[in-house]
Amino acid sequence: MSRKKIISKVPLSLIIPMLVLFNGCGGGRLSGGAKIQNDITVAVNDYNSDNWEIRFNAIKKVSRYSNTVYAKNSFLLVFKALDDSHSEIRIEALKILKSMKAPAAEKKITSLALLDENANVRFFAYSALGEYGNLQNEEIFIKGLQERDWLVKEAALKGLMTIKDPEIQIKNLDAILNAVKGKNISIRLTAISNLNIRHPLIYDELAEIINNKESNLYVLKAALQKIKEYKLDARTKKRIIELLTSRDKNVRLLSLQVLKQQELNLEL
């Protein structure tokens, strides 16, 4: 039986002794270790409660150790919380696992991203899954792009675009372009900000944003940031020169940077 299956079947009554085994000698060798171990033990006991708020506070208690050497001590409890009947507890567990990036939790997080009935849980599941940067999750993120809830869709898009593979954005160029051209400002910003490829179609969209005098200010600044990497056409260069007198200080600065980069490119 795999480690993942074993963990999912661990009853809470066995988690405390297993935590001690995870910690070797109970954490007493490190300063404050005994107190931390006690906190985790109390949290495990509290999680037995029928009161969801007590269970929530138990998970919240161990969250402070998610970025420390003691994270492994609370992993079994946090993993167990992914199956909690209350969505707030599942969300809190996902927040912790986003920091931990524990390999043993990845499959379960994927399941929550695809199947959980609560949109907020799916959002945090996709956010946590994105931290793994795993190419094998490409199809999972693509499915997430079909979500109606824009927050979930945004998290899936970011997860897809931050996969550590140089070909991933080329393969999914159509989906990325649709996001860049979409109506939702946050999704557009996510798509533009996470671009790591150069392509003529991407240039066309960036140029369209810059030349459109009605473009959202934040989207405009994101487009200026990314168009530095391209050779400008005459129309877009003229528009960027006009933006040197923009009321927004950052737009003026970004426009100047784009024009300076053009000069540097000509010298190379």
Residue 68 pLDDT level (bands cut at 50, 70, 90)? confident
Range 238-259 average pLDDT: 97
Question: Could you read off the pLDDT of 146-171 as tens digits, one per residue?
Answer: 999 999 999 999 999 999 898 999 99
pLDDT of residue 268: 56
Alpha-carbon distance values, 37 to 45, 194, 214 (Å): 12, 40, 57
pLDDT of residue 201: 97
Question: Could you read off the pLDDT of 224-235 as tens digits, one per residue?
Answer: 999 998 999 999
Which range marks the domain in which residue 26 is found? 1-96
> Does residue 11 belong to any structural domain of this protein?
yes
pLDDT at residue 254 tops 80 = yes
Question: Could you read off the pLDDT of 7-61 as tens digits, one per residue?
Answer: 445 555 545 444 443 443 344 444 467 888 888 888 889 999 999 999 999 999 9
> Does residue 208 belong to any structural domain of this protein?
no
> Does residue 127 belong to any structural domain of this protein?
no
> Does residue 36 belong to any structural domain of this protein?
yes
> Does residue 29 belong to any structural domain of this protein?
yes
3-state secondary structure the chain: CCHHHHHHCCCHHHHHHHHHHHCCCCCCCCCCHHHHHHHHHHHHHHCCCCCHHHHHHHHHHHHCCCCCCCHHHHHHHHHHHCCCCCHHHHHHHHHHHHHHCCHHHHHHHHHHHHHCCCHHHHHHHHHHHHCCCCHHHHHHHHHHCCCCCHHHHHHHHHHHHCCCCCCHHHHCHHHHHHHHHCCCHHHHHHHHHCCCCCCHHHHHHHHHHHHCCCCCHHHHHHHHHHHCCCCCCHHHHHHHHHHHHCCCHHHHHHHHHHHHHHHHHHHC
pLDDT of residue 71: 77
Structural domain total, the chain: 1
> Does residue 129 belong to any structural domain of this protein?
no
Label residue 88 exposed, middle or buried (CB < 10 Å: 0-12, 13-18, 19+): middle
Q: Give the chain's radius of gyration (CA, Å).
A: 24
> Does residue 238 belong to any structural domain of this protein?
no
Question: Could you read off the pLDDT of 74-110 as tens digits, one per residue?
Answer: 899 999 999 999 999 999 999 999 998 999 999 999 9
pLDDT of residue 7: 47
pLDDT of residue 265: 77
> Does residue 156 belong to any structural domain of this protein?
no
